[in-house]
């Protein structure tokens, strides 16, 4: 049975961040994939479908999410790829991803995902452990 916590006073704000935000030889350097989140929202994409496609491509198939052509192939049935590519090439959301990375790593000291912040409370994962449903319920109860 699924349990829910009724907290209509909470607004969730998703902020995509990179696992390895510094330039380097990391497969998980995904600045363009993170920017794609904002572009897909701007273009009115179904975000559940967007997330499923990106997860499949990046985490399962290990596609290169830093290649704009690959991103367009991943999203071809989700957004207008011409408009997507124009916005991506403009770098419109690059600064936002840098701000998200800074907020996560520098300001909030988030080192493992998922992590949650609400007012002055925080709930962080541990490496390889995650967060249990019970821990999340307790956190949301306030």
pLDDT tens per residue across span 32-53: 999 999 999 999 999 999 999 9
pTM here is: 0.73
Contact 65, 59 (CB under 8 A): no
Contact 51, 34 (CB under 8 A): no
Distance between CA 82 and CA 140 in Å, rounded?
Answer: 41
* 88: pLDDT strictly greater than 80: yes
Beta bridge partners of 130: 126
Average pLDDT over residues 19-39: 73
Instruction: Give Cβ neighbours of residue 116 (< 8 Å, ≥ 6 apart).
Output: 122, 123, 124, 131, 136, 139
pLDDT tens per residue across span 122-137: 898 887 778 888 998 8
Distance between CA 36 and CA 97 in Å, rounded?
Answer: 10
* 10: pLDDT strictly greater than 90: no
pLDDT for 28 equals 54
pLDDT for 25 equals 52
In which residue are the tokens 């390889």 written?
A: 128
pLDDT for 6 equals 67
Distance between CA 127 and CA 113 in Å, rounded?
Answer: 8
Instruction: Give Cβ neighbours of residue 54 (< 8 Å, ≥ 6 apart).
Output: 33, 36, 65, 74
Average pLDDT over residues 2-6: 56
Distance between CA 50 and CA 142 in Å, rounded?
Answer: 31
């Amino acid at each position: 049975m699924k349990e829910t916590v009724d907290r209509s006073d909470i607004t969730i704000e998703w902020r995509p961040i990179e696992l390895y935000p510094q330039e380097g030889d990391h497969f998980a350097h995904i600045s363009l994939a993170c920017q794609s989140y904002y572009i897909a929202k701007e273009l009115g994409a179904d975000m559940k479908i967007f997330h499923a496609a990106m997860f499949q491509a990046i985490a399962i198939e290990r596609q290169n999410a830093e290649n704009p052509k690959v991103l367009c192939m991943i999203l071809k049935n989700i957004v207008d790829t011409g408009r997507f590519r124009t916005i991506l090439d403009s770098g419109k959301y690059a600064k936002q991803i840098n701000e998200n990375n800074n907020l996560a790593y520098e300001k909030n000291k988030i080192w493992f995902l998922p992590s949650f912040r609400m007012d002055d409370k925080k709930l962080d994962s541990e490496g390889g452990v995650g967060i249990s449903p019970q821990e999340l319920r307790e956190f949301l109860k306030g």
